[in-house]
Structure 1
């Protein structure tokens, strides 16, 4: 029962310290931007108010208000500088995270490559290449035998035999092309009958 209702272990968080730092920097950037908008609104309002005071003849109050406006403009410029620093720092941290990932990938790749090298050393590779070369040569010999490929000497022997056959053919007498005379079928049938009847006539 204790195992069923016991506390489950929370999965390890994947959020790194760098991630937290980037998040904080972006939050500070957003706050600075909001502050800038507030100052810009105040500057415009103070400018309109100083103009109104001048129209009313209240020069000293307008001057004091413009001094305040000038101070706020300096603050606005400082916030721009701070924003640039925050943006640069955020970029540097994010790029550093990418570099870490690349290094981790290289590390894993090097370990895998080392294992492959351990399995296939140079002697083993050379042995495999030699066996492959030998197998290719044997297959080529088999292909040549199957395809009936002849050497140059074999080709010369075949040509000589062919010339010899042609010479013999020239020396043989020509076969007559005239047709033999055909004997009528009736005469062929009568010949055996007369041969049988002739002895009987002699006895009479």
Structure 2
């Protein structure tokens, strides 16, 4: 179990680049400076109230000394603002540089893919295919023009006559097929059934006995 967790942890660490570490450190420094600003802001407000209390007590020198200290800390605060701005600008530059690297890598991959495709199909092959396609388009256009009304009245009459001829030629074949498909019904019987003959044969002795 420990070995498995150790391997997964190493994989996660390997994904972190030096740029990621630099960005993380800069953000940590920025957060520390902001925490320091909050702390100094609260302290400056307290010192201002204390200086006001000293003045009301007649302790002018102590109040003046406290205000000088407050002024010094305010100057530090302005420097802290400048440092925070520089850090945030550096973070933005690093993050944007990482995006640029990813874009460049993507362009490189795409360029390699294009080179591979170009090796599979040369410029001569493309030109040949385009010429053949253009010839096919032009040929089809000529056919469309012929069929779309560029035939003369004589041509149309000849086409109709040929159509009628084909229809007439196909009529005997259709009649023969219909004749073959008609079922042959059995003929009407011309002789009497055998049962009727046997019955009449049995009646003849009876007629002789009666006579």
TM-score, structure 1 as length reference = 0.66
Matches of 2:142 and 2:156, distance apart in 1:
24
Matches of 2:128 and 2:73, distance apart in 1:
80
Matches of 2:16 and 2:2, distance apart in 1:
26
Distance 1:37-1:123 versus aligned 2 partners, 3 A rule: same
Deviations 1:124-178 (A, max 9, x none): 0011112212222343455566x47544xx34x46999xxxxxxxxxxxxxxxxx
Residue 35, structure 1, aligned to residue 36, structure 2 = yes
1:197 corresponds in structure 2 to none
Distance 1:159-1:7 versus aligned 2 partners, 3 A rule: closer
How many residue pairs align between the two structures? 153
SS in 2 for 1:106: helix
Task: Give the Å deviation of 1:14.
Answer: 2.2
In the alignment, structure 2 segments of 5+ residues that lack a partner are: 159-211
1:59 corresponds in structure 2 to 60
1:101 corresponds in structure 2 to 102
Matches of 1:124 and 1:55, distance apart in 2:
97
> 1:183-198 counterparts in 2 under 5 A?
none
Matches of 1:6 and 1:107, distance apart in 2:
40
> 1:104-183 counterparts in 2 under 5 A?
104-143=105-144, 147=147, 149-151=149-151, 154-155=152-153, 157=154
Range with bigger deviation, 50-59 or 10-19: 10-19
SS in 2 for 1:49: helix
TM-score, structure 2 as length reference = 0.64
Distance 1:36-1:6 versus aligned 2 partners, 3 A rule: closer
Deviations 1:83-125 (A, max 9, x none): 1110111111011111111111111111111111111211000
Backbone CA RMSD of aligned residues:
2.7
Matches of 1:62 and 1:6, distance apart in 2:
63
Question: Going by fraction, where is helix more abundant, 1 or 2?
Answer: 2
SS in 2 for 1:57: coil
